[in-house]
């Protein structure tokens, strides 16, 4: 069972203070951009769909595909609604054959597994991975996105994310992209707020949206 977290605004401010204290690189980023505006998506299934769509493509391409799919579904991104779409419907949105299979599998699994979204929301990180990684097309990166952007766990480090690897290289002046081992070691002082550190690294590369004025 996952332990209750402090209120999100308090946690984010505590994370900013911690990160600024352990790395001057973060202090500059936090001062230079804006307070972290990470707002978890409460709909677990919708976030998983977004994560699958975003696999291995640019942020802009993923946004375009996601918007077409949501329009096709009239905004109702639910397992049953997605199961009603034809293969041609998915292809018209720009979804590849491999991702189509993954999305159908997710929709079928959520439709037949009662209370799955609640179980995911209540599970710890290991529990979330145990529930999702056996599913076709769902890998560690996809689960990390769910942990960060939906059910929100504050200490997630997506070591397979290219944006994070490139951001860390640039922010910390590394000669090359860090591998998972190097990134994990470098991020050890960021605990227990590696999720917020990840957000700021993305933000430094404009990979998460700016807050609305």
Residues noted as catalytic: 161
Max Cα separation, the chain? 52
Contact 81, 45 (CB under 8 A): no
Cα dist. 82→53, 101, 105 in Å? 14, 12, 10
Helical segments of the chain, H only: 8-22, 24-32, 44-54, 59-72, 79-83, 87-92, 97-112, 116-122, 125-132, 140-149, 162-172, 180-186, 194-204
- Cα–Cα dist 98/136, whole Å: 10
Closest to 126 in 3D by CA, of 160, 155, 106: 155
Closest to 19 in 3D by CA, of 186, 164, 174, 189: 189
- Cα–Cα dist 208/213, whole Å: 15
Closest to 168 in 3D by CA, of 204, 208, 209: 204
């Amino acid at each position: 069972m996952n332990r209750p977290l402090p209120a999100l605004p308090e946690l984010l401010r505590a994370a900013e203070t911690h990160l600024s204290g352990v790395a001057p690189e973060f202090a500059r980023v936090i001062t230079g951009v804006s307070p972290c505006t990470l707002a978890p998506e409460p709909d677990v299934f919708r976030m998983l769909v977004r994560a699958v769509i975003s696999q291995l493509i640019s942020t802009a391409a993923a946004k375009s595909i996601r918007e077409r799919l949501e329009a096709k579904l009239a905004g109702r991104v639910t397992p049953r609604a997605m199961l009603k779409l034809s293969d041609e419907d998915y292809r018209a949105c720009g979804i590849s054959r491999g991702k189509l299979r993954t999305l159908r599998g997710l929709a079928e699994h959520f439709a037949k597994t009662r209370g799955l979204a609640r179980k995911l929301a209540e599970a710890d990180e290991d529990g979330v991975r145990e529930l999702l990684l056996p599913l076709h097309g769902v890998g560690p990166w996809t689960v990390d996105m769910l942990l960060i952007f939906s059910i929100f766990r504050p200490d997630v480090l997506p070591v397979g994310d290219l944006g994070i690897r490139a951001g860390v290289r640039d922010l910390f002046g590394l000669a090359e992209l860090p591998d998972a081992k190097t990134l994990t070691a470098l991020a050890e002082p960021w605990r227990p707020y590696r999720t917020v550190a990840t957000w700021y690294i993305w933000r430094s590369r404009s990979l998460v949206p700016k807050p609305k004025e």
